[in-house]
Chain A
Amino acid sequence: MSTINNSRRNFIKHSGIALLGSSLPISLVELAFAETTQNFSFAYISDSHIQHIKGAEFVRNWDQGLKRAVAEANLLTPKPDFVIFGGDLAQLGTKEELDHGAEMLSALSPKVHHVMGEHDYYLDLGEYWEKLFGPQYYSFDHKGVHFVVLNSIRTYDEWTYKRWPTNVQRMAEMAGLDNPNGSPFMVGDEQRKWLKADLAKIPKTTPVVVFSHSPLQKIYKGWNFWTEDAEQIQAMLKPFKQASVIYGHVHQIQYNQIGNISFNSVMATAWPWPYPQAYAQAEQYLPKLTVPMNRADPFFERDATGWQFINMANGRVDMHFSLDSNNSRTVGFNKSKKRPEDTVYPSEAKRTAPQTHY
């Protein structure tokens, strides 16, 4: 931890009263309690599912989503400090898909930190991805915040190593979200051990933000909106005063608060997913706090997709969803209620008709 980190801790101890606003575009930032010098922002792009057809052909629709997010993220003023790519860059984990996706992401001017998704992983267990993007789990510190990246989409060894005759089939089985032959995601022993050691070095007053592909909470097992060892990770985050988890995979807006841990999902650039309650046969636990994204209009190719930029103010996460073909949404941390809250639609009465899913 650096001196920068100390200055943030001092700031949290001694300040936090002044509401100074933010240097980000004013219409998009609702909450900022920190000194402007302590605020920083980063962009989050996720779930692009770049899909190879053959030769040099890729599914045009998904390409367009990623290209648009990259172009828009590059136009942010001031520039985000870094970009997170939240996983599922590829659809079937092939070199062609990962290379094509990496090429599009190379247009981003800030540094990109990558999170592993199941569509990137199950062909070669992340071997090629590692060559392009680095280790599958790691941590870094930035302006007084401790960031952790986990590979949360691993599963039971028997499923990964013994069940499938080929790697291609293993990838295809995991690629089907609703495939009953799939297997629940988990962080696993190896990474939990590493995480314990990593967090042991961090003062409990330091804000911690964890990036994972799957939700580190249990919402609906049938579509892997789920992490098998979520409770164990939550227990490790519990001692921290301010902990946040940001995850992809679900292709929709979700947010939740469990104890001191805030959860926020991010949108996909590729396509939207139904909320699990839209599956009449499902037993699911969508967080009650969540005001859903608008129902998608399929005739607008990019509707219900998007990307986000995130303002870190006073160690809390404020999510600004940049929604293609739709109004932007902001889910900020409400300090008095101690939970994430949509800044426009907190009450049932204010919700709009397209936010009703059935």
Chain B
Amino acid sequence: MFKANITMKTALLGSLLVFANASIADEFTDADVKRWEQQFMDTVKQGRELWTSPKLGNNGVVCAQCHPNAANTHPETYPKFQKQLGKVAPLWEMINWCLKNPLEGQPLAADDPKMIALQAYVTHERRGVKLEPGKH
């Protein structure tokens, strides 16, 4: 890549078409974008399934019982000072709080694919809302 960039600089006055078939950073096709969006939406879908799954916790309670369409989760406000935890917390810590308390279940690791899927779903439902980290 480094080498390619150097070469590109020297060739700037020439034709870029020479490199058209090489692998170049920041070049991607509509098909690539579609595939990546699909990957994201698949994860959102997994998150929605977990959100409505009685198996996520231990008592059959599902996230969607209190948070239909993930409403009142406010992903756009995290990280924020969570007075009940006494510190600035990211969204995933609050998700774990819910898993342990209303769902009477086990917390998930921050990088657990289930935790990532849950956050993808919550954030997707809140799309279009401006970021306001720290807002209470």
Contact = CB atoms under 8 A, between A and B. Distances in A.
A279 interface: yes
B74 to A, nearest CB: 8
Residue of A51, A276, A280, A297 ringed by the most chain B CB atoms within 10 A: A280
Interface stretch (A2-10, A73-81, A185-193, A267-275): A267-275
B66 A273 contact: yes
Contacts of A295: 72
A301 to B, nearest CB: 8
Contact of A51 (B61, B67, B84, B127): B61
Given A279-B69, A282-B69, A298-B97, A177 B127 contact: no
Contact of A280 (B68, B84, B126): B126
A61 interface: yes
Interface residues of B, number: 24
Contacts of A52: 60
B60 A274 contact: no
Nearest to B129: A280
Contact of B128 (A222, A273, A278, A280): A280
Interface residues of A, number: 32
A331 B98 CA distance: 32
B72 to A, nearest CB: 4
A59 interface: yes
A259 interface: no
Nearest to A222: B69
Those 10 A-B pairs whose CB atoms lie nearest each other, nearest first: A178-B68, A274-B71, A274-B72, A299-B84, A278-B71, A279-B71, A177-B68, A178-B69, A279-B69, A271-B66
